[in-house]
Amino acid sequence: MLTTKMFNSHIVSADWLKANSSLKNIIILDATINKVIDKTSQRIPNARFFDIKKKFSTIDAPFSSTLPSQAQFQKEAKNLGICNDSLIVVYDDKGIYSSARVWWLFKTYGFNTIAVLDGGLPEWVQHGFKVETYTNETYNLGDFNAKDNTLLMTNFKGVNQYSKDKNTLIIDARSQARFKCLVDEPKAGLRRGTIPNSKNLPFTDLLNGYKLKSKPQLSKIFNNLVDDKTQFVFSCGSGITACILALAATILDYNKLIVYDGSWTEYGSLTELKES
């Protein structure tokens, strides 16, 4: 059995997953957002659907994809059969998109033996590896124990403090056009804008097709941006793609990394209310 001590990567290849997918304690999670599970839905064999929107977010929160409570996260993870000694590989159908959010959620609740599948389902399919359709499944209740590490997330009050901190850099993962207020926000009624003292690094700049760019390429991108800052806060539209930046920064061995959970959806909404 592959032990948690042997599993220390933040990202794994399709070849690695194919070679190790039958190991007893590996759990594969499909983190595709807004996926409708039916008899035609494709998955990597034995993958379990991780429902970000309906089970792993606070449903009645004013902003989408809001961090769930520790109790909710623990309950839903147990329902998926996740245990404290599980080794998790998470993927999505876009390559690297919502899978990074799931990776960060688990870190936020004290679980580190999780990796993102580089290139996700498209890379798996491109390799010619087997896919299957979903079936109605139940899992043995896991013994997952969530631990509070929510300092990895911040909120509206926190990001306002970070924006005034000379040692902190806020990096926005939205497109350059959105960051520069050249186009409307996708969310209807949400104003254009940027968080004060933030810089732009579109998450797509970190990708080469479906996969994350090489470590030297990522290092060059970050070195051109971070200056002498010692702490980084990642933002985006709603807290999803900010986690891709956090993934890349972790691979590069940066520390003191924080994700702004509500991101621009929250910040633009609350500052608009304050100004009106």
Structural domains of the chain sorted by starting position, each given as residue range(s) with its CATH number in brackets: 11-148 (3.40.250.10), 151-275 (3.40.250.10)
Residue 149 has pLDDT above 90, yes or no: no
pLDDT value at position 35? 76
What's residue 274's pLDDT? 63
Q: What is the mean pLDDT of residues 178-184?
A: 96
Please name the residues in contact with 198: beta carbons below 8 A apart, sequence gap of 6 or more. Answer: 163, 169, 170, 171, 172, 235
Q: Is the pLDDT at 273 greater than 70, yes or no? A: no
Asked whether the predicted pLDDT for residue 140 surpasses 50, the reply is: yes
Q: Judge whether residue 249 has pLDDT over 50.
A: yes
Map tokens 């070849």 to a residue: 15
Strand 87-91 vs strand 26-30: parallel, antiparallel, or unpaired? parallel
Helix (H) or strand (E) holding 70: helix 70-79
**Is 50 exceeded by the pLDDT of residue 38?**
yes
User: How many Å from the N-terminal Cα to the C-terminal Cα in the chain?
Assistant: 59
Task: Kindly provide the b/e burial profile for residues 71-82, where b requires at least 16 CB atoms within 10 angstroms of the residue's own CB.
Answer: ebbbebbbebbb
Q: Say whether pLDDT at 59 is over 60.
A: yes
Among 83, 181, 236, 243, the active-site one is 236
Query: Token pair 């956090």 is at which residue?
Result: 246
The token pair at 134 is 């979903």
Catalytic residue list contains 236: yes
Over 60: is that where the pLDDT of 4 sits?
Answer: no
Say how far apart CA 195 and CA 265 lie, in whole Å.
11
pLDDT at position 150 over 90: no
Query: The pTM is what?
Result: 0.94
Residue 224 has pLDDT above 50, yes or no: yes
Distance CA 115, CA 10 (A): 4
- Whether pLDDT at 188 is above 70: yes
95 pLDDT higher than 80: yes
Inter-residue contact 249 to 222 (CB < 8 Å): yes
Contact present, 102 and 29 (Cβ < 8 Å): yes
Give CA–CA dist 104/77, Å, rounded: 14
Q: What's the pLDDT band for 276 if we cut at 50, 70, 90? A: very low
